[in-house]
Amino acid sequence: MLWCGLAVAGGLAAGLLFQAVGRPDRHGTVATAAVVGLLVADLVRRSDRSGVGTLSVATAIAIVFVAWRGIRSPRQAAQVALVALPMGLAGIVVVSAPDFLELLFANLSS
Q: DSSP for the chain?
A: -HHHHHHHHHHHHHHHHHTTTT-SSHHHHHHHHHHHHHHHHHHHHTTTSTTHHHHHHHHHHHHHHHHHHH--SHHHHHHHHHHHHHHHHHHHHHHHHHHHHHHHHHHHH-
Q: Write the pLDDT tens digit of every residue in 19-51.
A: 999 999 999 999 999 999 989 988 888 888 777
Enter the pTM of the model. Answer: 0.81
d(CA 85, CA 33): 8
d(CA 72, CA 58): 23
Structural domains counted in the chain? 1
110 occurs within a structural domain:
yes
Q: Write the pLDDT tens digit of every residue in 68-107.
A: 999 999 999 999 999 999 998 988 888 888 778 778 877 8
81 occurs within a structural domain:
yes
Q: Which residue range forms the structural domain that includes residue 48?
A: 36-110
25 occurs within a structural domain:
no
**Residue 31 near residue 13, CB atoms below 8 Å:** no
